[in-house]
């Protein structure tokens, strides 16, 4: 037994009766406290659910949290100093408690510290004691050197302050979960505010070099941080005259009076994001979309008007497709590869015949190819399943292409910017280029609806105001990164992005693009600087953006892409300094991949059985019993468990003033009904804004 635990026998309240890795049952002594304990040096209720007890051993003392209290009829207990052996052995109402082992409390030079995990279990008959005030505070207080941010107090440990280490909370992701009205949004705002205040104090009132990016789908965080002077706001702005041109949003008496215009330009999207919003089909439209993006980003390629050059570029595509079929080898003899190759040759024939006005040697080349195609197709048409092809039917074209390279030059595949590189191109040029591609006979029939969907993106005012950029100078990639992530020249530390006015058909795409750009920029930052850029991405109402999805489906939707990028950040973001704060009221609807990567949980009241069962699967088996009380937690009370807390602890979160709380309070029906709170109805103004007349 360690020195600090030698004189605790007077605190003994019972003995170990039953032991398992998940549970330890304790039989309380007759004289153990029944309501209030004074022998710990301070008044404290005992026994109580969520109270702590210690079981001393040679390494220190095992920490246990009480999860069950009962009275069971047992044999009459033997009292120390008395001879009770001659008494009639009648059933006796024996008080018992059940505890969950949490960790080990060690003493080091007069100071106590908590070690995670349990490796030294007690034996039946070992003494169980009440911790004193110093030990209680050591259990709930984080002794981590960098635990500088106070988030609340522990009502189960004499209101000892509870601190967190930002490196562990934000670096390894945190999930803040709870039903509406449980204090979840205030906890999220508090984590940001208290961290900023602690960092500002540490830097002697200088601006902290921090980056928080809040994705706010309901417009709740408008004024949550405005008094800090460290915040920038973005929202959908329909009238550009309303956009503030200052670097920071204008604030008046702690209120935001101007917001900057939310911009996520179309040219920053990658090919999958374009495919998801345009609903491009996998086998026909998506390859054409990728080709159009590559060519429009290659300035020389997108402006080619000469038919000879277009013919040569088509030959490159033809050669690439032939190489793919060559790799299938003997597979060309069976369905569906034989059918695919038959249709490929039919389409190639139509495309080649469409090239007119070629110079003489190119015209001869084209006719030779068409003749070879006709010879092969005529020999297969009468066979079942389009006939069985073999490798010779592919090599005949590859040989001809090799032979003709003296005329065309070597047909080298495209090596310019790929379809995913964020390079500016104008929307008008892009639409025009797709229309030109659509005139090719082999693909014309499949592009009508696709073109209509792409054009509709730029016709809706609320969408167009966010995605459209008239010129490259209007918004560069560098400026976007400076504005939304931050730069060295005294940029705000907190970026709040109000998504509330974004149309539902594009909100998932915008969030997906922003999350991807933030993630990829941090990847490149580390590769160039050999150091990470600590940034926290906060996702409110995360169940809307990080939903479960069908992994087997080949169809790609904006919502699925959104979930996939957050899963990637959850799995890899820590390596690049990008942390997540996931806030949700329906954890059962969230991606299990994201939740399983969250190392810290701050759990408010959760009533739904399905949500509770899902959370129990994420914590170790020994901790599952602690979550049983989630359905009865009062507002502002939360369970902190995981990497940021040495042991699970019930926290009463610090209270935010009304001005600093997100706008998520319950609607005041009664005050409006009885006239205490006035509500003017201004439908004309709302209709004007709705119909984009302002």
Per-residue pLDDT tens over the stretch 167-182: 999 999 999 999 988 8
For residue 439, pLDDT beyond 90: no
Q: What is the mean pLDDT of residues 227-254?
A: 63
User: Taking CA 226 as the corner, what is the angle to CA 223 and CA 231, rounded to the nearest 5 degrees?
Assistant: 115
Angle at which helix 504-529 crosses helix 558-572, to 10 degrees, equals 30
pLDDT tens string 483-535: 999 877 656 789 999 998 888 889 999 999 999 999 999 999 999 999 999 99
Residue 669 vs residues 220, 655, 665, 682: alpha-carbon distances, Å: 19, 24, 12, 19
* 607 DSSP assignment: -
Give the whole-number percent of the chain exceeding pLDDT 90: 29
pTM over 0.85: no
**DSSP code per residue over 122-159:** --TT-EEE---HHHHHHHHS---TT--EEEEEETTTTT
444 vs 374 pLDDT, higher one: 374
pLDDT tens string 590-634: 999 999 999 999 999 999 888 888 888 877 656 666 787 788 888
**How far apart (Å, rounded) are the C-alpha atoms in residues 301 and 508?**
32
* 94-108, 295-309, 460-474: the lowest-pLDDT one: 295-309
Cis peptide before 336 (omega within 30 of 0): yes
**pLDDT at 395 (0 to 100):** 87
The H-assigned helical ranges of 383-423 are 392-403, 405-408
Listed in sequence order, the residues at least 6 apart from 421 whose beta carbon sits closer than 8 Å to its beta carbon are 297
413 vs 458 pLDDT, higher one: 458
What letters, b where the CB count within 10 A reaches 16 and e where it falls short, cover 428-461?
eebbebbeebbebebbeeebeebbeebeebeeee
Domains of the chain: 3-140 (no CATH), 166-263+475-673 (3.40.50.300), 268-448 (no CATH)
394 band by pLDDT with thresholds 50, 70 and 90: confident
pLDDT tens string 5-26: 555 656 788 999 999 888 899 9
CA 89 from centre of chain: 62
292 vs 75 pLDDT, higher one: 292
**How far apart (Å, rounded) are the C-alpha atoms in residues 558 and 542?**
15
**pLDDT at 520 (0 to 100):** 94
* 37-51, 192-206, 343-357, 660-674: the lowest-pLDDT one: 37-51
Q: What is the mean pLDDT of residues 363-370?
A: 88
Q: What is the mean pLDDT of residues 571-578?
A: 94
**How far apart (Å, rounded) are the C-alpha atoms in residues 586 and 543?**
6
Q: What is the mean pLDDT of residues 68-97?
A: 69
- C-alpha count within 13 angstroms, C-beta hemisphere, residue 602: 30
CA 478 from centre of chain: 24
**pLDDT at 413 (0 to 100):** 67
**pLDDT at 40 (0 to 100):** 56
For residue 243, pLDDT beyond 90: no
**pLDDT at 33 (0 to 100):** 76
For residue 75, pLDDT beyond 60: yes
For residue 166, pLDDT beyond 70: yes
**pLDDT at 298 (0 to 100):** 76
Radius of gyration of the chain (CA): 34
Phi and psi, residue 50, nearest 5°: 75, 5
3-state secondary structure 36-104: EECCCCCCEECCCCCCEEEEEECCEEEEEEEEEEEEEEECCCCCCCCCCCCCCCCCEEEEEEEEEEEEE
**pLDDT at 552 (0 to 100):** 67
Residue 621 burial by CB count (10 A; 0-12/13-18/19+): exposed, middle or buried?
exposed
For residue 36, pLDDT beyond 80: no
Phi and psi, residue 122, nearest 5°: -75, 180
Q: What is the mean pLDDT of residues 226-246?
A: 69
Which residues lie across from 15 on neighbouring strands?
27, 127
Q: What is the mean pLDDT of residues 579-592?
A: 93
Beta strand residue intervals within 454-597, DSSP E: 494-498, 535-539, 578-584
**pLDDT at 625 (0 to 100):** 67
Helices (H) and strands (E) in the chain, counts: 22, 23
Mean pLDDT of the chain: 82
Relative to beta strand 24-28, strand 36-37 is unpaired
Q: What is the mean pLDDT of residues 283-289?
A: 81
Q: What size, in residues, is the chain?
A: 694
3-state secondary structure 447-489: CHHHHHHHHHHCCCHHHHHHHCCCCCCCCCHHHHHHHHCCCCC
Angle at which helix 360-378 crosses helix 392-403, to 10 degrees, equals 170
Q: What is the mean pLDDT of residues 237-241?
A: 58
For residue 263, pLDDT beyond 90: yes
* 53-67, 362-376, 439-453, 675-689: the lowest-pLDDT one: 439-453
Other Cβ atoms closer than 10 A to 668? 11
**pLDDT at 451 (0 to 100):** 82
Which range among 107-116, 227-236, 564-573, 602-611 has the greatest average pLDDT?
564-573
Element (H, E) at 560: helix 558-572
* 636 DSSP assignment: T
For residue 646, pLDDT beyond 90: no
For residue 414, pLDDT beyond 80: no
Q: What is the mean pLDDT of residues 94-112?
A: 86
**pLDDT at 519 (0 to 100):** 96
CA 211 from centre of chain: 16
User: With contact defined as beta carbons under 8 Å apart, do 140 and 102 qualify?
Assistant: no
Helix (H, G, I), strand (E, B) or coil at 299: helix
Q: What is the mean pLDDT of residues 251-279?
A: 80
Helix (H, G, I), strand (E, B) or coil at 660: helix
433 band by pLDDT with thresholds 50, 70 and 90: confident
* 666 DSSP assignment: P
CA 291 from centre of chain: 31
**pLDDT at 430 (0 to 100):** 86
For residue 80, pLDDT beyond 70: no
Give the whole-number percent of the chain exceeding pLDDT 70: 84
**pLDDT at 111 (0 to 100):** 81
CA 463 from centre of chain: 24
**pLDDT at 8 (0 to 100):** 62
Other Cβ atoms closer than 10 A to 313? 16
**How far apart (Å, rounded) are the C-alpha atoms in residues 666 and 48?**
32
């Amino acid at each position: 037994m360690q020195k600090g635990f030698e004189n605790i026998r007077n605190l003994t309240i019972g003995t170990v009766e039953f032991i398992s890795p998940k549970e330890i049952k304790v039989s309380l002594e007759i004289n153990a406290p029944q309501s209030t304990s004074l022998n710990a040096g301070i008044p404290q209720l005992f026994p109580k659910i969520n109270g702590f007890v210690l079981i001393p051993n040679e390494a220190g003392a095992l920490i246990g949290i009480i999860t069950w209290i009962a009275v069971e009829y047992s044999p009459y207990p033997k009292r120390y100093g008395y001879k009770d052996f001659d008494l009639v052995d009648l059933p006796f109402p024996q008080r018992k408690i059940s505890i969950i082992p949490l960790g080990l409390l060690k003493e080091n030079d007069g100071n106590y510290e908590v070690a995670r995990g349990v490796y030294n279990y007690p034996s039946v008959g070992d003494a169980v004691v009440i911790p004193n005030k110093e030990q209680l505070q050591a259990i709930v207080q984080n002794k981590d050197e960098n635990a500088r941010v106070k988030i609340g107090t522990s009502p189960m440990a004499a209101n000892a302050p509870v601190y967190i280490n930002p490196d562990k909370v934000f670096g390894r992701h945190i999930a803040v979960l709870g039903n509406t009205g449980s204090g979840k949004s205030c906890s999220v705002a508090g984590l940001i505010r208290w961290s900023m205040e602690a960092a500002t104090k540490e830097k002697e009132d200088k601006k902290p070099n921090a980056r928080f990016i809040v994705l706010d789908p309901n417009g709740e965080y408008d004024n949550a941080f405005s008094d800090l002077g460290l915040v920038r706001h973005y929202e959908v702005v329909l009238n550009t005259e309303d956009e503030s041109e200052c670097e920071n949003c204008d604030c008046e008496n702690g209120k935001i009076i101007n917001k900057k215009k939310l911009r996520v330009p179309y040219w920053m999207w990658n090919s999958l994001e374009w495919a998801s919003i345009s609903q491009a089909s996998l086998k026909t439209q998506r390859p054409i979309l990728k080709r159009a993006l590559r060519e429009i980003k290659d300035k020389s390629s997108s402006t080619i008007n000469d038919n000879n050059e277009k013919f040569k570029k088509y030959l490159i595509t033809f050669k690439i497709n032939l190489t793919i079929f060559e790799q299938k080898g003997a597979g060309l003899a069976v369905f569906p590869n034989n059918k695919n190759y038959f249709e490929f040759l039919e389409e190639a024939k139509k495309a080649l015949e469409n090239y007119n006005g070629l110079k003489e040697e190119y015209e001869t080349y084209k006719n030779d190819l068409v003749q070879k195609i006709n010879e092969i197709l005529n020999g297969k048409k009468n066979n079942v399943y389009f006939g069985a092809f073999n490798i010779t039917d592919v090599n005949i074209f590859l040989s001809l292409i090799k032979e003709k390279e003296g005329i065309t030059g070597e047909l080298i595949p495209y090596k310019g910017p790929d379809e995913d590189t964020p390079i500016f191109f104008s929307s008008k040029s892009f639409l025009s280029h797709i229309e030109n591609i659509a005139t090719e006979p082999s693909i014309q029939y499949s592009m009508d609806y696709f073109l209509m969907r792409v054009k509709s993106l730029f016709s809706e005012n609320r969408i167009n105001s966010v995605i459209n950029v008239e010129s490259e100078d209007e918004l560069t990639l560098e400026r976007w990164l400076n504005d939304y992530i931050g730069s060295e020249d005294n940029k705000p530390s907190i970026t709040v992005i109000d998504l509330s006015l974004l149309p539902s058909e594009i909100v998932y795409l915008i969030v997906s693009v922003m999350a991807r750009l933030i993630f990829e920029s941090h990847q490149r930052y580390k590769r160039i600087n050999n150091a990470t850029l600590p940034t926290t991405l906060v996702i409110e109402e995360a169940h809307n953006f990080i939903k479960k999805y069908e992994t087997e489906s080949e169809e790609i939707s904006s919502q699925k892409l959104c979930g996939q990028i957050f899963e990637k950040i959850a799995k890899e973001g820590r390596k690049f300094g990008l942390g997540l704060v996931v806030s949700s009221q329906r954890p059962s609807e969230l991606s299990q991949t994201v939740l399983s990567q969250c190392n810290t949980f701050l759990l408010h009241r959760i009533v739904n059985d399905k949500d509770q069962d899902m959370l129990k699967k994420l914590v170790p088996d020994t901790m599952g019993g602690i979550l049983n009380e989630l359905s009865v937690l009062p507002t502002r009370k939360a369970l902190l468990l995981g990497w940021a807390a040495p042991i699970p602890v019930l926290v009463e979160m610090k209270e935010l003033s009304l001005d600093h709380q997100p706008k998520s309070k319950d609607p005041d029906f009664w005050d409006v009904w009885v006239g205490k709170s006035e509500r003017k109805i201004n439908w004309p103004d709302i209709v004007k804004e709705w119909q984009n007349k302002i």
